[in-house]
């Protein structure tokens, strides 16, 4: 019989963890894309504003590269009782998340506490979406993530002799979901899942998000409907789209 962490004696706390140690090479932003201006602020500022607007979050931890020298000057008001910063980021997302989990433990987080890992580049996040995820997963044995059913036709591709992509076949999209973030798992489950994956080079290559590490242990994370606007700014054109959407939506809600 599986054991539930929920009891009348305590309520699991929720922490957000934002890995922010990347260089953003694909975005063409001329530096770490999290600091590229979008709608008058560094992109990550929008992300953190949304997370800080979620009352259920005990704290929001930003994991930076040890060599990051820009965060405090660009976001001078973030560090606070609920806004935490740690320069412990690693070479990969999984490395940074794992180091961030260790930082949360050092700051008092317990195995039964929830950790919501969110991409810094999903800057259109709204507090209501995070609250939806927490409400859906708070009593779940595994945890879950925001995601959307795939609507587009999917193609399997190969590169021809001239380096051009060619469609090989159509992939059945039934039952396919596009993963988003936050991804919400208990610290006591996520940490060993990442440790297990990072200990095996072949497995580590397949761990592209936290849910994939949880799946590798045989668990089935819950899929919670996300939102189309919760896309990850990845390519140069994404900045203009994020700018338009942020400029027209009004205050986060």
Q: Is residue 69 part of a domain?
A: yes
pLDDT of residue 184: 98
pLDDT of residue 1: 37
Q: Is residue 105 part of a domain?
A: yes
Domain containing 226 equals: 14-144+179-249
Q: Is residue 209 part of a domain?
A: yes
pLDDT of residue 8: 41
Chunked mean pLDDT (size 10), the chain, 253 residues: 48 96 58 89 96 98 95 96 97 94 98 98 97 97 97 95 96 96 98 92 84 96 97 91 87 48
3-state SS, the chain, equals CCCCCCCCCCCCCEEEEEEECCCCHHHCCCCCHHHCEECCEEHHHHHHHHHHCCCCEEEEEEEECCCCCCHHHHCCCCCCCCEEEECCCCCCHHHHHHHHHHHHHHCCCCCCCEEEECCCCCCCCCHHHHHHHHHHHCCCCCEEEEEEECCCCEEEEEECCCCCEEEEEEECCCCCEEEEEEEEEEHHHHHHHHHHHHCCHHHHCCCCCHHHHHHHCCCCCEEEECCCCCCCCCCHHHHHHHHHHHHHHCCCC
Q: Is residue 149 part of a domain?
A: no
Q: Is residue 164 part of a domain?
A: no
Q: Is residue 38 part of a domain?
A: yes
Spatial distance between the Cα atoms of 80 and 203, rounded to a whole number of angstroms: 37
CATH of the domain at 31: 3.90.550.10
Spatial distance between the Cα atoms of 160 and 210, rounded to a whole number of angstroms: 33
Is the CB of residue 30 less than 8 Å from the CB of residue 22?
Answer: no
Q: Is residue 66 part of a domain?
A: yes
pLDDT of residue 253: 43
pLDDT of residue 2: 45
pLDDT of residue 30: 56
Looking at the structure of the chain, the number of domains it has is 1
On the question of a cis peptide bond just before residue 182, with omega within 30 degrees of 0, the verdict is: yes
Q: Is residue 157 part of a domain?
A: no
Residue 138's alpha-carbon distances to 58, 64, 87, 141, 223, in angstroms, are 14, 28, 29, 9, 13
pLDDT of residue 10: 67
């Amino acid at each position: 019989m599986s054991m539930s962490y929920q009891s009348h004696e305590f309520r699991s706390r929720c922490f957000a963890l934002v890995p922010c140690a990347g260089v953003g090479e694909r975005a063409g932003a001329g530096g770490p894309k999290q600091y590229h201006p979008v709608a008058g602020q560094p992109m990550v500022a929008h992300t953190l504003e949304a997370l800080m607007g979620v009352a259920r979050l005990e704290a929001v931890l930003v994991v930076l590269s040890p060599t990051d020298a820009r965060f405090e000057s660009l976001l001078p008001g973030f560090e606070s009782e609920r806004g935490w910063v740690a320069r412990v980021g690693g070479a990969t997302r999984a490395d940074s998340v794992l180091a961030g989990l260790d930082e949360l433990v050092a700051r008092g987080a317990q195995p039964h506490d929830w950790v919501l890992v969110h991409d810094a580049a999903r800057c259109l996040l709204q507090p209501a979406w995070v609250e939806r995820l927490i409400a859906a997963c708070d009593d779940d044995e595994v945890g879950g993530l925001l995601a959307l059913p795939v609507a587009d036709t999917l193609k399997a591709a190969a590169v021809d002799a001239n380096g051009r992509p060619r469609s090989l076949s159509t992939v059945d999209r039934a039952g396919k979901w596009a993963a988003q973030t936050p991804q919400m798992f208990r610290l006591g489950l996520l940490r060993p899942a990442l440790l297990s994956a990072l200990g095996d080079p072949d497995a580590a290559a397949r761990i592209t998000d936290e849910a994939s590490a949880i799946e590798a242990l045989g668990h089935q994370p819950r899929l919670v409907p996300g939102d189309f606007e919760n896309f990850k700014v990845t390519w140069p054109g994404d900045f203009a789209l994020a700018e338009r959407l942020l400029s027209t939506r009004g205050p986060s809600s």
